[in-house]
Amino acid sequence: MRVSFKTIFTDRHPPTEPAIAELKSWCGSFHDLGLTPVYEGSSLGNLSFRPEEGNDSFIITASQLKFKNDLTEDAFVKVHLCDPDRAIVHASGTLEPSSESMLHFEIYRERPEINAIFHGHCDAILERAEALNIPVTREEAPFGSAALVRRVLEILDDNIFIIMRNHGFIALGHDMKSAGKLAIRMHEKCRIDKRR
Ligand SMILES: [Zn+2]
**Rounded distance from Cα 4 to ligand 1 centre (Å):** 14
**Rounded distance from Cα 114 to ligand 1 centre (Å):** 19
**Rounded distance from Cα 195 to ligand 1 centre (Å):** 25
Domains of the chain, start order: 6-195 (3.40.225.10)
**Rounded distance from Cα 170 to ligand 1 centre (Å):** 9
Tens digit of each residue's pLDDT (9 = 90 or more) over 129-168? 999 999 999 999 999 999 999 999 999 999 999 999 999 9
Nearest Cα neighbor of 48 from 109, 6, 4, 137 is 109
Neighbours of ion ligand 1 (CB under 5 A): 168
Q: So what's the pLDDT on residue 133?
A: 94
Query: What average pLDDT does this structure show over 4-26?
Result: 96
Q: So what's the pLDDT on residue 4?
A: 84
d(CA 93, CA 69): 20
Nearest Cα neighbor of 179 from 70, 18, 23 is 23
Within 10 angstroms of residue 32's Cβ, the number of other Cβ atoms is 12
Tens digit of each residue's pLDDT (9 = 90 or more) over 101-115? 999 999 999 999 999
Please report the beta strands in 46-151, taking only residues with DSSP state E, as ranges in sequence order: 46-49, 58-61, 76-83, 88-92, 116-120
Q: Are the beta carbons of 151 and 126 closer than 8 angstroms?
A: no
**Rounded distance from Cα 193 to ligand 1 centre (Å):** 23
**Rounded distance from Cα 144 to ligand 1 centre (Å):** 8
**Rounded distance from Cα 64 to ligand 1 centre (Å):** 11
Q: So what's the pLDDT on residue 191?
A: 83
**Rounded distance from Cα 168 to ligand 1 centre (Å):** 6
Confidence of residue 3 (pLDDT cuts 50, 70, 90): low
Given a cut of 80, whether residue 195 has pLDDT beyond it is: no
